[in-house]
Chains A and B, each alone.
Chain A
Amino acid sequence: KAGVTQTPRYLIKTRGQQVTLSCSPISGHRSVSWYQQTPGQGLQFLFEYFSETQRNKGNFPGRFSGRQFSNSRSEMNVSTLELGDSALYLCASSLGWTEVTYEQYFGPGTRLTVT
């Protein structure tokens, strides 16, 4: 079974631009979560989607948004990029909503650098 894939793996953008990151979950997984990882703040939860609906949201500004498609693939968008948005963005997929203790499978991440 193929793992979680994220594209692109590396990205360089300029302040003020916007960016879209993509995540393809493991086949059969309906939940996709996004995390931001930085040296200073560690791993922080951005949001989670299940069946095309945002179920949970972290404490990030509205510049960070996401969506999920009917095939469970997900995208996250960051508008008006700031230098502080430079980070590794991780996507994780899991089976679904009804099983609370399911494990999350993480992708390799997208390394975003904002200059």
Chain B
Amino acid sequence: DAKTTQPNSMESNEEEPVHLPCNHSTISGTDYIHWYRQLPSQGPEYVIHGLTSNVNNRMASLAIAEDRKSSTLILHRATLRDAAVYYCILQLYNFNKFYFGSGTKLNVKP
């Protein structure tokens, strides 16, 4: 099974950028990288995904290393509502099967 490694927790100040790292050294060429987050007492929600190129959407940016063995989720301006557990996930191409890592608990300080 594909594996991801993330720091257990990180802290950020409100309205500052946050960089959440993820290592996935065993990634294969056809694995997609997804990020989901889980707010307290809720199911996970989609944040962003990518394959090889960096990606941007209204929520965040995803920076993927050239060798694809690591990626970084970037929240440009953290808010208190961004406090959640962030999961870096690998998805094998053409298989709807997500391998969740242990996640990073993000704490945002006002």
Contact = CB atoms under 8 A, between A and B. Distances in A.
B96 A108 contact: no
B97 A100 contact: no
Interface string B43-55: 1111001010000
Nearest to A50: B96
A35 B100 CA distance: 10
A105 B99 CA distance: 16
A97 B36 CA distance: 20
Interface residues of A, number: 26
A49 B99 CA distance: 17
Nearest to A91: B43
A43 B94 contact: no
Nearest to A59: B1
Contacts of B49: 101, 103
B100 A97 contact: no
B43 A106 contact: yes
Contact of B100 (A42, A100, A103, A109): A42
A109 B41 CA distance: 9
A94 B96 CA distance: 9
A44 B44 contact: no
A103 B46 contact: yes
A4 B42 CA distance: 12
Given A101-B32, A105-B46, 5 more contacts: A33-B96, A43-B87, A45-B98, A90-B44, A94-B96
24 contacts: A4-B43, A35-B98, A35-B100, A42-B101, A42-B102, A45-B97, A45-B100, A48-B97, A55-B95, A55-B96, A56-B96, A58-B97, A92-B44, A97-B96, A100-B32, A104-B44, A104-B96, A104-B98, A105-B45, A106-B43, A106-B45, A107-B43, A108-B42, A109-B43
Interface of B: 32, 34, 36, 41-46, 49, 51, 87, 91, 93-103
Pairs A-B, 3 closest by C-beta atoms:
A106-B43, A103-B46, A43-B100
Interface of A: 4, 31, 33, 35, 42-45, 48, 50, 55-56, 58, 90, 92, 94, 97, 100-101, 103-109
